[in-house]
Amino acid sequence: MSEMLYSKNPTKKTIVNINGVKFGQEFGIIAGPCAVESKEQLIEVAKTLLDSDVKIMRASAYKPRTTPYSFQGMEEEGIDILSEVGKETGLATETEITSIEQIKHASKKIDVLRVGARNMQNFELLKALNKVDNPVILKNGLASTIDEFLGASEYLLQGGKTNVILCWRGIRTYETQTRFTADVLAIPILKELTHLPVIADPSHPAGRLELVTPLSKAFVAAGVDGLIVETHPDPKNSKGDTLQQIPLKEFEKYVQIVRNYAKK
């Protein structure tokens, strides 16, 4: 039996359809603020996404932070707000899940569930998400190898689950000029090794707004199936990731740039 029975050596590429966006077949964008802060905030973001023909909105209600003194998210209230805005606007919704206990409520309210870097090897969480119908986005761990990343995906795929998307967001190294090191070579390697769609997160490894677009171009050139990026009405006054979120007023231009690269 192959060590990577479900994720490796594909005979056919998997396509994951989210609100009409077919990841694995076409280039897709997922965008929104780091965290749910209010319904008004999400409505403002949603309008810009719709104007830019982006059909999936990300926003985290649970925030696993380095210290307990940072904003931890609006939790269930945030899930409810995100769900409400999604229904009102027609956008698909995407959010991070950090524990098994959150799955029941979130899976009924939110379209796409995400496993963040800190939980890539939370195997009990992955096994629990294996049992839900929602598409799941799995991010690579803070210092994981590609094989460890694929190994974690096996926990989601066991039992026949197919709607899984891998998200590369870089790893922690000795470099301090960026928040994380985004090894762009990971994209073609993952595309070679797995049948799953592979997207990338340019916001977190960049850590600075001026680096998000160049890194997005690099990811697109490397062959990603899509990007998940942060955008906010007023990044300087946001409750997290203040330096890397794209101001809403600049978002449509960003989308045009990356889509043009994806067409080349």
- 79-94, pLDDT tens digit by residue? 999 999 999 999 999 9
Position 2 in a domain: no
CA angle 180, 244, 38 (to 5 degrees): 125
Please tell me the predicted confidence (pLDDT) of residue 1: 41
C-alpha of 182 from chain center:
15
Position 3 in a domain: no
Question: Closest by alpha carbon to 36, among 207, 200, 239?
Answer: 239
Position 222 in a domain: yes
Q: How many domains does the chain have?
A: 1
Q: Distance (Å, rounded) from C-alpha 24 to C-alpha 225? A: 6
Tokens representing 125 are 């969480």
- What percentage of the chain carries pLDDT values higher than 70? 98
Strands (E), the chain: 16-18, 21-23, 28-32, 56-58, 92-96, 112-115, 136-139, 164-168, 198-200, 226-232, 246-247
Tell me if residue 117 falls in helix, strand or coil.
Answer: helix
Q: Distance (Å, rounded) from C-alpha 102 to C-alpha 15? A: 27
Position 94 in a domain: yes
DSSP 99: S
Amino acid (1-letter code) at residue 107 = S
Please tell me the predicted confidence (pLDDT) of residue 75: 94
Q: Is the pLDDT of residue 70 over 90?
A: no
Expressed as residue numbers, the domain containing 195 is 16-263
Sequence-distant (6+) residues with CB within 8 A of 101 are none
Q: Is the pLDDT of residue 2 over 60?
A: no
DSSP 185: T
Tokens representing 231 are 């955008």
Position 8 in a domain: no
Lowest mean pLDDT among 26-30, 46-50, 59-63: 59-63
Please tell me the predicted confidence (pLDDT) of residue 208: 96
Contact in structure between 192 and 150 (CB atoms under 8 Å): no
Position 100 in a domain: yes
Q: In whole numbers, what is the pLDDT of the chain averaged over residues? A: 94
Contact in structure between 16 and 25 (CB atoms under 8 Å): no
Phi, psi dihedrals of residue 55, rounded to the nearest 5°: -105, 0
Please tell me the predicted confidence (pLDDT) of residue 68: 84
Mean pLDDT of the 164-173 span: 97
Report pLDDT digits (tens) over 227-247.
999 999 999 998 888 999 999
Q: Is the pLDDT of residue 9 over 80?
A: no
Q: Distance (Å, rounded) from C-alpha 105 to C-alpha 51? A: 30
The CATH number covering residue 31 comes to: 3.20.20.70
Position 110 in a domain: yes
Position 9 in a domain: no
Please tell me the predicted confidence (pLDDT) of residue 81: 98
